[in-house]
Amino acid sequence: MAGPATTDVRAARLRRLAGGVVRTKRTRSDLAYYGGTPGFAEDIRVGTPNVPAKDRYLELVGEAIDRRWLSNLGPLVRRFEALAAERTLRAHNTATNNATTALQVAVKACGVTGEVIMPSFTFVASAHAMDWIGLTPVFADVDPETGTLDPRSVAKAVSPRTGGILGVHIWGNLCDTAGLDDVAREAGVPLVFDSAQAFGCLPLRPAPAGAAEVFSFHATKILNCFEGGLVATDSAEVHARVRSMHNFGFDETMDVVGPGTNAKMNESSAAMGIASVEHLDDMLKVYRALYTRYRTGLADVPGVSLMAAPQGQTHNHQYVVVRVDPEAAGLDRDRLMAVLDAENVRTKKYFSPGCHTMPPYRRETVHTPVDLSVTETLTERVLALPTGLSVTPDDVDRICDVIAAAVRYA
């Protein structure tokens, strides 16, 4: 990896070496969970922000301040939109203040109404964005291998009240876009994609792209804008509505022509986006290398398997997610999480619980027409492990060592 992005890695390495930590877990009592010394002197986390070019960011935001143009579709936002377009390969790209408001804008701009069929197995923001603007999430089940929305389950959930379908490219795994496109066309409703976790992921061959898709540049994403999002579409009509809606319903002459909100990205966020996207390829290399390292390190651990990255796409490997089979591993996901936590390895249950178990979306509140058993199983078994610019290959080796020992001494 090239220059600036290595700074994080070096700092992380020094930080951890300074702790004089245990290198391997040779006995049960070496595990901190059973009384041993924690493997990491300081927390190692999922989602520590990547800042590959601090000085470049400070330079850009300083220029924005000097020109006294801090928001309202400024030159940095325009430039970031152009740079992002090179990665989404969509004709029209609108930067936003975050992905949740971007989702609201996208589904409104696509004409989604009534009930929206979507996975329960996603970050709650996907469902909240629908509910916030008066749409009703209807949950369908997901594929057990990829974790993405299953078109067969969606087809079963379609009803006369269905007004749209929201696929989620969870962990950067692209949905079965062709299968979802078939169901959406049959139902006569718009198909929108929540690509919050999929910036940098593209199909290797042309694939149905939906009416619009939404990316996230939240602090914890591979590319961050402090907070930020993007609505991307190939439709000039949808784009015109997105542009207007994200800026108070204004048209290009600043007349209010329809509904709207304030979803605008500001110049500081765009500055961070520009500074970071210049290092995106380097960052993708780091994530890919760490993913491969985990795959090797966990290859022989029974019952703990990396969720597959689907074929036929490029992948950002932004999330390294294992699935814990309690029978084969001898411990369940929550116990493994506790063992890692004792070592100061802060993992995340991405994504658990399922949205359909949360108070606003329980069966007694919203209509849930289909079986969600794959979702139920996955939400009990998945665990996201630390990755990113603040994680070193050595860290990964030691995390894998902890996991192997946790299973061995379970």
Residues annotated catalytic, as ranges? 221
Q: State yes or no: residue 99 binds a copy of itself (CB under 8 A).
A: yes
Q: State yes or no: residue 264 binds a copy of itself (CB under 8 A).
A: yes
Residue with smaller CB distance to a copy of itself, 262 or 296: 262
Choosing from 101, 197, 344, 379, the residue that interacts with a copy of itself (CB under 8 A) is 101
- Does the bond joining 351 to the residue before it have cis omega, within 30 degrees of 0? yes
Residue 299 burial (C-beta neighbours within 10 Å; 0-12, 13-18, 19+): exposed
Q: State yes or no: residue 218 binds a copy of itself (CB under 8 A).
A: yes
Q: State yes or no: residue 314 binds a copy of itself (CB under 8 A).
A: no
Q: State yes or no: residue 248 binds a copy of itself (CB under 8 A).
A: yes
Of 368, 281, 392, whose CA–CA distance to 7 is shortest? 392
Tokens linked to 317: 């490997």
CA 280 from chain centre, in angstroms, equals 16
Residue with smaller CB distance to a copy of itself, 264 or 381: 264
Of 188, 127, 129, 193, whose CA–CA distance to 163 is shortest? 188
Q: State yes or no: residue 258 binds a copy of itself (CB under 8 A).
A: yes
Element (H, E) at 384: strand 382-385
Residue with smaller CB distance to a copy of itself, 65 or 328: 65
Q: State yes or no: residue 120 binds a copy of itself (CB under 8 A).
A: no
Choosing from 44, 84, 95, 125, the residue that interacts with a copy of itself (CB under 8 A) is 125
Site for a copy of itself in 153-172 (CB under 8 A): none
Choosing from 33, 40, 57, 287, the residue that interacts with a copy of itself (CB under 8 A) is 57
Q: Any idea what DSSP says for residue 367?
A: -
267 within 8 A of 71, measured Cβ to Cβ: yes
CA dihedral 55, 58, 63, 66 (to 10 degrees): -140
98 within 8 A of 76, measured Cβ to Cβ: no
Q: State yes or no: residue 65 binds a copy of itself (CB under 8 A).
A: yes
Q: State yes or no: residue 352 binds a copy of itself (CB under 8 A).
A: no
d(CA 406, CA 31): 8
Q: State yes or no: residue 126 binds a copy of itself (CB under 8 A).
A: no
Segment contacting a copy of itself by CB under 8 A, of 140-148, 252-260, 282-290, 370-378? 252-260
Number of residues that bind a copy of itself (CB under 8 A): 53
d(CA 330, CA 327): 5
d(CA 126, CA 118): 8
CA dihedral 101, 105, 108, 113 (to 10 degrees): -20
Q: State yes or no: residue 188 binds a copy of itself (CB under 8 A).
A: no
β-strand partners of 92: 233
225 within 8 A of 265, measured Cβ to Cβ: yes
Segment contacting a copy of itself by CB under 8 A, of 55-63, 186-194, 298-306, 322-330? 55-63
To the nearest whole angstrom, how small is the minimum distance from the Cβ of residue 327 to a copy of itself?
28
- Does the bond joining 203 to the residue before it have cis omega, within 30 degrees of 0? no
To the nearest whole angstrom, how small is the minimum distance from the Cβ of residue 358 to a copy of itself?
4
Choosing from 90, 128, 243, 333, the residue that interacts with a copy of itself (CB under 8 A) is 128
Q: Which residues bind a copy of itself (CB under 8 A)?
A: 48-49, 51, 54, 57-58, 61-62, 65-66, 68-72, 97-101, 104, 124-125, 128-129, 131-134, 218-219, 224, 226-227, 248-249, 256-262, 264, 266-269, 272, 358-360, 390
